[in-house]
């Protein structure tokens, strides 16, 4: 959200794009109502003229010069016009709301599309993506989707403005000039205030959000009261509340200072406008005194019309200024849509042998200088069972991220089955079956929690049951009230959130379900499992993984007894590589780790 000057041509392009989007979201009926609005724009002027005539007729009636029938007819016309105005107002209000709903939906849909297809590094906040996302969602999106509405409103106001000026012109051109001049300060002010608002919104947004966030922490309502336990038991409520108070007060302070200033300025501008208004009224009355033939109606006309003219003028210029001021917000929104997406090929190849080769690969996370992977080279053949060990931050998870094409190596080349994964992203991903450490616990049925892993094939019940049986998940699934159709997760109907171990079995089932994969990656698959379940997994390990290459990240070194090869990561490099026996013989880092764990299991 940097302050850049936007060129005129660029502004037009952005405006055009916004209008196209807005037209799409608005829908037919809405546009029709807006079209009617152009006719409705003539109503104020029309009403004023009829009112003037009515006034004259009433005066005539009292002097016996006019007829009751004619007067009533005029009254009838007036009422119809008022009704038309009311009807249009209601329709406009309703369709306005409808548009807003559609708009919000459109924005959310765009954001979901954007975030699910954009290159992952942006989700790590590269190029400040996440801030821009938040900002676009809250501000930019709405202005894009409502841009058409805004433009139509401005045009309608233009029509109304024209009609009002025409009528008043007939009374006195000087009045028109005076009234218009009086509107200038308001218009200028609103433009300046728009600018200030933009700056404030970008700065103040975080604090406002923090205030809400701190409130939710104290009240514990987010994430199902997860924070409440720590807040209560740690006795930190007073401290967090104080934080909340100071953040909220600070936020309001700034917001209010700006608002107060704006209100003050606007009030002064209003006073100026009203001074001119009174002046015009004085002129009109003086005219009547000077020239009685003008009639009383003129007074009513000027009285009602002047106010309306001023209101319409302000709306017109403010609306136009607002539209062009919004260009900046719109630009931010489109920049979001234009963020580079992942390059997925249309016809992914299939791998028979999915040998994995890392060739002098280096990688650093966005915003960090430290190399998470440092000139790493390794070759893993199809079918190998490999354990990956090392301390937190040594690069294990990064290795997996790069293999799945989530991140791109900054240096070096990664190939699978001989093909560079760049350009074969979809193929590589289809060849991999991965269970991440914080795998998703989807708020849907158990069946869907498993089948979500593989959308390429239709769901076959038997296959599903087989997979569940092989990982040991079938037992507890069948015990669920609705079996596979049971809705699980924290927000499920019955609040049925499975235990950590049960979720882990579901995740394993997911991995097995994706049976077209040639490589299986398991990141800490036994972290939540108790000794019995863990042992069961190890025992079934080769059966579950079949002939797939298996990469197993684990801190439980007992796992190394079921794999052929161990890779030891340290500071972004692979420092040891071999079988368990080889590495014990070397007596290096691995041996140290192994002994640290095994010592506890000496039965004394």
Partner 1 sequence: MREMSTGFPVSLHSILDTRTEFLCTVHIQDMEASQKGTGNKIKAAAWGIKLAWKIDKRMLLFWVTLGIGLAVLPAVALAFNRNIIAHLLAFLTTGAGRFSDTVPDLVALGLILTVSGLSARLSDDLLYMMMFDSYYLGLEETMMDSAQEIELNELLKKEVGDRYYAVISRCGSLTDLTSSGCALLSKLVSIGSLMAVALTASIAVFFAALAYVTLVLWLNHALSGRIRVVWSEIREHLRRAEYFEKLAQDGDTAKETRVFESAEKIKEHWQNAYRRVEEMRLRQDAGYARLGLFTNAGFYLFLAVAVGFCVFRVASGAMGPDTLLVVFMLCTGMAASIGGIARSYQRMDYGLYGLDIQRRFLDGAPRPGAEEEAGKAEEGLDGENVFSAKDLCFSYRKGIPVLKNLTFRIRRGETVALVGANGSGKTTLIKVLLGLFRPESGEARFQGRPHADYRRGYISSRVGSFFQDFYLFHFTLGENVGIGDVGHVGDEGRILSAMEKGGARALVDRLPRGLQNMLGRQVYKEGALLSGGEGQRVGVSRAHMSDKEIMVFDEPASMLDPIAEMEQFRHIRERFGGRTVILVSHRIAFARLADRILVLAGGELVEDGSHGELMERDGVYAKFFREQAQWYDAAAGGAGRGGSV
Residues in 570-599 that interact with partner 1 by CB under 8 A: 580, 584, 591-599
The distance in angstroms from the start CA to the end CA of the chain is 65
Taking CB under 8 A as the rule, does residue 501 contact partner 1?
yes
* List 22, 534, 544, 572, residue binding partner 1 (CB under 8 A): 534
CA max distance for the chain:
123
Chain residues 179-208 in contact with partner 1, contact rule CB under 8 A = 206
Give the nearest distance from C-beta 30 to partner 1 in angstroms.
Answer: 13
Bridge-based pairing state of the strands 411-416 and 356-363: antiparallel
**Binding window for partner 1 (CB under 8 A); candidates: 161-169, 195-203, 217-225, 412-420:** 217-225
The DSSP code sequence of 300-315 is: HHHHHHHHHHHHHHHH
Taking CB under 8 A as the rule, does residue 349 contact partner 1?
no
* List 41, 318, 373, 389, residue binding partner 1 (CB under 8 A): 389
355 or 570, CB closer to partner 1?
A: 570
Long-range pairs of 526-529 with CB within 8 A, sequence gap ≥ 24: 526/554, 526/556, 526/559, 527/437, 527/555, 528/500, 528/501, 528/503, 528/504, 529/501, 529/504
Give the nearest distance from C-beta 195 to partner 1 in angstroms.
Answer: 19
Taking CB under 8 A as the rule, does residue 227 contact partner 1?
yes
SS3 of 437-490 = CCCCCCCCEHHHHHHCCCCCCCCCHHHHHHHHHHHCCHHHHHHCCCHHHCECCC
Give the nearest distance from C-beta 22 to partner 1 in angstroms.
Answer: 18
Chain residues 77-106 in contact with partner 1, contact rule CB under 8 A = 78-79, 82-83, 86-87, 89-91, 93-94, 97-98, 101, 105
8 or 289, CB closer to partner 1?
A: 289
Give the nearest distance from C-beta 166 to partner 1 in angstroms.
Answer: 23
Count of Cβ atoms closer than 10 Å to residue 216 Cβ: 14
* List 43, 188, 533, 575, residue binding partner 1 (CB under 8 A): 533
Chain residues 437-476 in contact with partner 1, contact rule CB under 8 A = 437-440, 442-444, 448, 452-456
Chain residues 33-72 in contact with partner 1, contact rule CB under 8 A = 55, 58-59, 61-63, 68, 71-72
274 or 377, CB closer to partner 1?
A: 274
39 or 596, CB closer to partner 1?
A: 596
Supply angle C-alpha 149, 153, 156, rounded to 5. Answer: 140
The string over 265-299, giving b where at least 16 C-beta atoms fall within 10 Å of a residue's C-beta and e elsewhere, is beeebeebbeebbeebeeebeebbeeeeeebebbb
* List 24, 29, 108, 379, residue binding partner 1 (CB under 8 A): 108
378 or 527, CB closer to partner 1?
A: 527
Taking CB under 8 A as the rule, does residue 257 contact partner 1?
no
232 or 379, CB closer to partner 1?
A: 232
* List 412, 528, 575, 588, residue binding partner 1 (CB under 8 A): 528
Q: Which residues pair with 203 in a beta bridge?
A: none
452 or 460, CB closer to partner 1?
A: 452
Cα–Cα distance, 319 to 357 (Å, whole number): 60
Count of Cβ atoms closer than 10 Å to residue 600 Cβ: 6
Distances (CA, A) of 553 to 388, 391, 455, 484, 569: 5, 11, 26, 29, 11
């Amino acid at each position: 959200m940097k302050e850049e000057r936007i060129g005129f041509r660029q502004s037009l392009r952005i405006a055009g794009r916004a209008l196209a989007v807005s037209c799409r979201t608005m829908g037919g009926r809405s546009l029709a109502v807006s079209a009617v609005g152009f006719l409705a724009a003539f109503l104020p002027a029309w009403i004023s003229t009829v009112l003037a005539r009515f006034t004259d007729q009433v005066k005539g009636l009292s002097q016996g010069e006019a007829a009751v029938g004619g007067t009533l007819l005029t009254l009838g016309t007036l009422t119809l016009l008022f009704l038309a105005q009311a009807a249009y107002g209601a329709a406009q209000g309703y369709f306005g709301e409808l548009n807003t709903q559609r708009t919000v939906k459109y924005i959310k849909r765009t954001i979901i599309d954007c975030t699910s297809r954009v290159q992952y590094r942006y989700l790590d906040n590269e190029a400040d993506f996440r801030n821009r996302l938040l900002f676009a969602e809250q501000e930019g999106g709405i202005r894009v989707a409502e841009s058409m509405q805004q433009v139509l409103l401005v045009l309608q106001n233009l029509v109304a403005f024209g009609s009002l000026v025409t009528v008043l012109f007939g009374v006195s051109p000087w009045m028109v000039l005076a009234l218009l001049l009086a509107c200038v300060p308001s218009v200028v002010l609103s433009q300046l205030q728009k600018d200030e608002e933009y700056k404030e919104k970008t700065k103040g947004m975080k604090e406002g959000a923090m205030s809400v966030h701190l409130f939710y922490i104290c009240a514990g309502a987010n994430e199902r009261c997860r924070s409440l336990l720590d807040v209560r038991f740690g006795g930190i409520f007073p401290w967090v509340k104080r934080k909340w108070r100071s953040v909220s007060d600070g936020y309001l302070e700034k917001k209010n200072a700006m608002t107060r200033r704006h209100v003050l300025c606007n009030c002064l501008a209003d006073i100026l406008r009203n001074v001119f208004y009174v002046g015009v009224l004085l002129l009109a009355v003086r005219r009547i005194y000077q020239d009685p033939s003008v009639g009383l109606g003129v007074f009513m006309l000027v009285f009602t019309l002047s106010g309306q003219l001023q209101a319409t003028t302000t709306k017109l210029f403010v609306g136009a200024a607002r539209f062009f001021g919004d260009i900046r917000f719109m630009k931010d929104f489109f920049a979001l849509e234009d963020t580079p997406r992942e390059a997925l090929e249309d016809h992914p190849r299939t791998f028979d042998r999915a040998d994995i080769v890392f060739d002098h690969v280096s990688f650093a996370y966005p915003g960090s200088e430290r190399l998470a992977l440092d000139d790493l080279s390794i070759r893993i053949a199809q079918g190998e069972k490999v354990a990956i060990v090392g301390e937190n931050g040594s690069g294990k998870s990064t290795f997996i991220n790069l293999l799945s094409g989530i991140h791109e190596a900054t240096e070096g080349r990664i190939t699978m089955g001989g093909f560079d994964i760049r350009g074969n992203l979809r193929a590589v991903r289809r060849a991999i079956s991965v269970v991440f450490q914080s795998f998703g616990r989807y708020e849907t049925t158990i069946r869907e929690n498993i089948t979500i892993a593989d959308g390429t094939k239709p769901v076959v019940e038997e296959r599903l049951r087989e997979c569940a049986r092989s990982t040991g998940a079938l037992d507890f699934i069948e015990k669920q009230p609705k079996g596979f159709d049971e809705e699980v997760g924290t927000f499920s109907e019955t609040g049925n959130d499975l235990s950590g171990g049960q979720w882990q079995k579901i995740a394993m089932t997911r991995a097995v379900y994706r049976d077209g994969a040639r490589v299986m990656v398991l990141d800490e698959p036994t972290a939540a499992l108790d000794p019995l379940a863990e042992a069961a997994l190890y025992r079934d390990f080769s059966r579950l993984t079949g002939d797939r290459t298996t990469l197993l990240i684990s801190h439980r070194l007992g796992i190394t007894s079921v794999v052929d090869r161990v890779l030891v990561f340290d500071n972004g490099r692979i420092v040891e590589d071999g079988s368990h026996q080889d590495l014990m013989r070397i007596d290096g880092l691995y041996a140290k780790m192994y002994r640290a764990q095994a010592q506890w299991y000496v039965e004394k």
